[in-house]
Chains A and B, each alone.
Chain A
Amino acid sequence: MNIRTFRIGGVHPEENKLTHEVATKVAALPKQAIFPLSQHIGAPTKPVVQKGDKVKVGTMIAEAGGFVSAPIFSSVSGTVFKIDTAIDATGYRKPVIIINVEGDEWEESIDRSTKLELVKDHPELTPEEIVSRIKNAGVVGMGGACFPTFIKLTPPPTAKAECVIINAVECEPYITADYRLMMEHADEILVGLELLMKGAKVTRGYIGIETNKPAAIELLTKKAAEKFTNSDYQVEVVPLAQRYPQGGEKQLVDAVIRRQVPAPPAIPVNVGAIVQNVGTAFAVYEAVMKNKPLFERYTTVTGKKLANPGNFLVRMGTPMKDLIDACGGMPEGDNKLLAGGPMMGKALTSVEVPICKGTNSVTILSGDDARRKEPQPCIRCAKCVGACPMGLEPYLLAKLSDVKNWERAEREDIVSCIECGSCQFTCPAHRPLLDNIRQGKATVMGIIRNRNAKK
């Protein structure tokens, strides 16, 4: 078997996939559900409900606020309690819609059966129809970045899509939500892939999976062969050597089809690839075939000290506290709560932060794992330069950000940083490289936007 991987940098963090073989449970309904108006990259949504309105499961509660945006649907039935602000994953108070849960009544338009629908039985599904259903169902990238999916499927006229790559890498430590989804819903994911290929008008598809998930590779290889042999589509399951950050979009494209996406503003479709997370493929299946908008997702709740870590099918808006309690409650002592995994996850300031479209994991680091080590002086050992998957010089970018030399930071390609944290992970002096680079990157991107706006 030819095991591929990306070509520059990378690190090998400890896996800690504690919940690999824990079957997914359906999480209990919350008493109150909280929906931040901004759950995706792009313009925040605008509420279309008011205090006191009755909603059902699947009712749209906020509409897209611009072209790059995605509507939000209620995951519960009940009454709109208020439109207010609450702390979200950024740590700031942001506008939210809060709904008091009453019963569990779904919109009639949603097909709740578990029958597997096939694309060939639905001639009405033209590419345009597929993209429109995806857009209207509020589907965004489920891997964490939350970029609206329909935009990726309709590339600018300067680029031509050649293939769809399903990102089933899950290289981030601890998280197992995508793996469980593959093991439990392989057929739906493959239909989702077919819809994505049809929507993007391509016939080639790849599913990239790291070799630490042999069961998923075997299952999907078998099912894909059954489904796509003698069809119009060529689909290949690509086993990938374990290496972080293989799940990064650009790294995955490099690993699977050996093409490197140029520096920003180029995106994967500039080299012909449309990358979608496996969770997104599943959401696309449900949105197109079951008319079910995006309001629930697979989320891993994990941590070494957690009594019963597990994988959950969660209604969005559920506060993390409910899930943590379902796993045996917050462990004793010092803990760090992360939305996402330990490499890229965001540390949270509150357990009341709700599960959103992009929350693939709730990770609790305890004791020494939760603490940062004291930074030592940089001795220019160049380990960060070797680890950077984008071929950047993290020590330099961190320094330039620290001294606010934005011109030089831009020249040194700070905006190419994918914020994977490999540099900070590998730094023997425990320097907060990524913290500095993130701030620098945000500032430089702001400067570039202003400059472009003036033109």
Chain B
Amino acid sequence: MYGVMIALLPALLVSFYYFGLGSVIVCLTSVAACVFFEWAINKFVLGNERNSILDGSAALTGLLLGFNLPSNLPIWIIIIGALFAIGVAKMSFGGLGCNIFNPALVGRAALLVAFPAQMTTWPKVGQLGAYVDVETGATPLALMKEAIKSGDASVLNQLPDATALLLGNHPDGAGALGEICALALLLGLAYMLWKKIITWHIPVSIIGTVFVFSGLLHLINPAYADPCTVILTGGLMLGAIFMATDYVTSPMTAKGQLIYGVAIGFLTVVIRNWGSYPEGMSFAILIMNAFTPLINTYIKPKRFGEVPAKQ
């Protein structure tokens, strides 16, 4: 848990740099609310003697939930999100290790449905002293959607270039506070791979699938954005590196993880291009979370002795 938090540090610092006060308030509220709900439900609802807040899982959920929110989201909405994440998605299934769906994503999805307006207006970067009252703009993903709807590839010219996306230096609306700088998230990935917290299977299969699938679409019709831009925008990196790799809700075997990753990548592109929301990452992960038990039942590791003898 704490290893993952260290891996999230670069992205957290970048979000402070671009969003300032708003980012600090959203992250702190989210973490505090998640830890509080974990503690309160353990103590007053479940009556557990040993409380699980020190294992860091609730704080991590809080941090990831915060990363998925716009930096101008009011505190009370964040608290409702935290209640959904910890209360509904995690504790009602039995707490740590028992949940089917990624708690932070359930929190985000619940807020997206309940507060669509607040959850889809994204502040522009660089308004360091402001919180709720900020100037907002359209995200790159919204522009992409517009290009597909209108069939007019020239809309895509307004997209920031790949370097800006990598660094998170968006001129217009940026997106959720944790997802804007792909480079910081990739640093986190490198750290987690180095520390063997996760394996490469899930992130690589998701990003690879999205790249190939959207690359094909781009070749057929240039109104679909080019694949480099696609993998650097929205919550793709955040989702592929930190959300889909959640131990509890992802498959156990390398083969299962590849199936899971490819399916998430595929669903993401489908939802992004043809669904009603501009971003499909979180829904794709939640859908595949539901398939994880099935994957675990049918995809087995290669047993010793099943390899044909090599002479």
Report if A391 contacts B (CB, 8 A).
yes
A266-B305 in contact (CB<8A): yes
Q: Report the bound CA distance from A436 to B250 in whole Å.
A: 24
Asked if A391 and B310 make an inter-chain contact with CB atoms under 8 angstroms apart, the answer reads no
Contacts of B306 in A (CB 8 A): 260, 262, 391
Task: Given A379-B247, A382-B253, A393-B252, verify A416-B310 contact (CB < 8 Å).
Answer: no
Chain A nearest CB from B248 CB (Å) reads: 5
Contact A382 B252 (CB under 8 A): yes
Q: Which of A258, A263, A377, A378 sits near B305, CB closer than 8 Å?
A: A263
Q: Are B300 and A260 in contact (CB under 8 A)?
A: no
Distance from B247 Cβ to chain A, minimum over Cβ atoms (Å): 4
Q: Mark B97-130, 1 if CB is under 8 A from A, else 0.
A: 1100000000000000000000000000000000
Which residues of chain A are within 8 angstroms of B95 by Cβ–Cβ distance? Answer: 377
With the chains together, A219 CA to B254 CA distance in Å?
A: 41
Contact bitstring A390-410, B, C-beta under 8 A = 1, else 0: 111101100000000000000
- How near does chain B come to A73, taking the closest CB pair, in angstroms? 37
Residue of A nearest to B97 (CB): A377
The residues of A that contact B307 with a CB separation of less than 8 Å are: 7, 260
- List A contacts of B302 (CB < 8 A): 8, 391
Interface residues on chain A, number (Cβ under 8 Å): 31
Do residues B252 and A377 form an inter-chain contact, with CB atoms below 8 A?
no
Whether, in the assembled complex, A381 has its beta carbon less than 8 Å from a beta carbon of chain B, the answer is yes
Chain A residues in 8 Å Cβ range of B296: 396
Most chain A CB within 10 A, of B95, B98, B303, is at B303
**A390 with B97: CB separation less than 8 A:** no
In the complex, whether B55 has a CB less than 8 A from a CB of chain A is: yes
Determine whether A388 belongs to the interface, using a CB cutoff of 8 Å to chain B.
yes
**Bound CA–CA A172/B97 (angstroms):** 32
A260 proximity list for chain B (CB < 8 A): 304-307, 309
Q: Per a CB cutoff under 8 Å, which of A258, A386, A391, A396 touches B304?
A: A391
B287 at the A interface (CB under 8 A): no
Whether A385 and B301, one on each chain, are in contact in the complex, defined by CB atoms closer than 8 angstroms, is yes
0/1 string, B285-311, CB within 8 A of A gives 1: 000000000001000111111110110
Residue in B96, B98, B303 whose beta carbon sits within 8 Å of that of A391 in the complex: B303
Q: List 18 A-B contacts (CB under 8 A).
A: A7-B307, A8-B302, A258-B310, A259-B309, A260-B309, A262-B305, A263-B305, A266-B305, A376-B55, A376-B96, A379-B57, A379-B247, A379-B248, A385-B252, A385-B301, A386-B199, A386-B254, A390-B303
Per-residue contact bits, chain B 194-212, to A (CB 8 Å; 1 contact, 0 not): 0000010000000000000
Question: Which residues from chain A contact B98 at a C-beta distance below 8 Å?
Answer: 377
A389 within 8 A of B: yes
Could you say which residues of chain B place their CB within 8 Å of the CB of A377? 52, 95-98
Can you list, as one digit per residue, whether each of B3-32 has a CB less than 8 Å from chain A (1) or not (0)? 000000000000000000000000000000
Quick one: given A259-B310, A377-B97, A378-B97, are A416 and B252 in contact (CB under 8 Å)? no
Chain B nearest Cβ from A202, distance in angstroms: 17
A261 is an interface residue with CB less than 8 A from chain B: yes
* A386 and B302 alpha carbons, distance in the complex (Å): 11
**From A264, which residue of chain B is reached at the shortest CB distance?**
B305
Which 3 A-B residue pairings sit nearest by Cβ, starting from the closest? Answer: A377-B97, A391-B303, A262-B305
Which residues of A lie under 8 Å from residue B303 when comparing CB positions?
A: 263, 390-392, 413, 416
A391 lies within 8 A of B247 (CB): no
Q: A224: CB under 8 A from chain B?
A: no
Contacting residues, chain B, for A390 (C-beta < 8 A): 303-304
- Residues of chain B contacted by A250 (CB below 8 angstroms): 304-305
Q: Is the CB of A392 within 8 A of B310?
A: no
Expressed in whole angstroms, the Cα–Cα distance for A413 and B301 within the complex equals 12
Which residues of B are found within 8 Å of A254, using beta-carbon distances?
304
- Contact A379/B309 with A8-B302, A389-B304, A390-B303 known, Cβ cut-off 8 Å: no
Distance in Å from the Cβ of B94 to the closest Cβ of chain A? 9
Known: A260-B309, A263-B305. A380 touches B253 (CB 8 A): no
Q: Which chain A residue has the least Cβ–Cβ distance from B303?
A: A391
Known: A254-B304, A271-B309, A379-B247. 11 other contacts (CB 8 A): A260-B306, A260-B307, A261-B304, A263-B304, A377-B96, A382-B247, A389-B304, A390-B303, A391-B302, A396-B296, A416-B305
From B198, which residue of chain A is reached at the shortest CB distance?
A: A381
CB distance from B205 to the nearest CB of A (A): 15
The answer, among B55, B96, B253, for a CB contact under 8 Å with A385, is: B253
Min Cβ gap B296→A in Å is 8
